[in-house]
Amino acid sequence: MGRNVNVSRDDWVAAAFEWIATSGVATLAVEPLARSLGVSKGGFYWCFGSRDELLVAVLERWEQQGTQEIIDAIEQLKAKSPLRELLGRVAQRVKATSADSVRVLRMEYALNCAATDPRVAPVVQRVTAARMGYLAKVLRGEGLTPKVARQRAMLAHASYLGLVQLRATGNDAELAALDIDELLEAYLAMVLAPSAKAETKRATVRKTVAR
């Protein structure tokens, strides 16, 4: 039987965050989570009305910490190159090996794997839209057209999720070999490369002028 100790709402959310990052959304349940905290499940219902209410709180924390806080921090910095600052943070997140950093990446992977869950889906969609929308905004500031900026933002986010999957599925040796500066430059080159259509148009104009 669990001990009668004071476990706060934040404690339950933190424990559920760790649980999902390690074992996935589908396995989250009140009784085993209570055991992991060394308490009875009765204490859970002083903080939450249901397992789904707890999941919502976890998703809110993930959305705030993994997206909104990063966007707010970059906006407050008023950096000369917000694009470099943003992509630099992404590169550092992928490379980081601390327990907290790995937990965040595994959480990201777990939630994307559970993206068909009706409680998870809208949050993942909202986070994806916010991330791509902000990156597209930054890319427009670099001179890209809205259409190209949106496409490059999608490509960059898909690349990030691929690296998250590598981390979450145990490819630590490969990621440990990543050079952060090189990864950042590769990201920048990818999102800022001239569009193929623009290059074709320029080539056509040059040929016309040459005649």
pLDDT value at residue 198: 52
> What is the rounded (10 degree) CA torsion for 126, 130, 131, 134?
170
CA distances from 141 to 64, 81, 83, 114, 134 (A): 24, 10, 9, 34, 11
Query: Residue 81: left if φ>0, alpha if ψ -120 to 50, beta else—which one?
Result: beta
pLDDT value at residue 18: 96
End-to-end CA distance of the chain: 88
Q: Which fold has domain 58-192?
A: Tetracycline Repressor; domain 2 (1.10.357)
pLDDT value at residue 124: 96
| Rounded-to-integer distance, Cα 45 and Cα 60, Å | 19
> What is the rounded (10 degree) CA torsion for 113, 115, 120, 122?
150
Residues 6+ apart with CB under 8 A from 17: 58, 61, 62, 103, 107
pLDDT value at residue 203: 43
| Rounded-to-integer distance, Cα 89 and Cα 73, Å | 11
Tens of each residue's pLDDT in the chain, 211 residues:
445 568 899 999 999 999 999 999 999 999 999 999 999 888 899 999 999 999 999 999 999 998 999 999 999 988 788 999 999 998 888 888 888 888 889 999 999 999 999 999 999 999 999 999 999 999 999 999 999 999 999 999 999 999 999 888 888 788 778 888 998 999 999 999 997 665 444 444 444 555 5
| Rounded-to-integer distance, Cα 57 and Cα 108, Å | 15
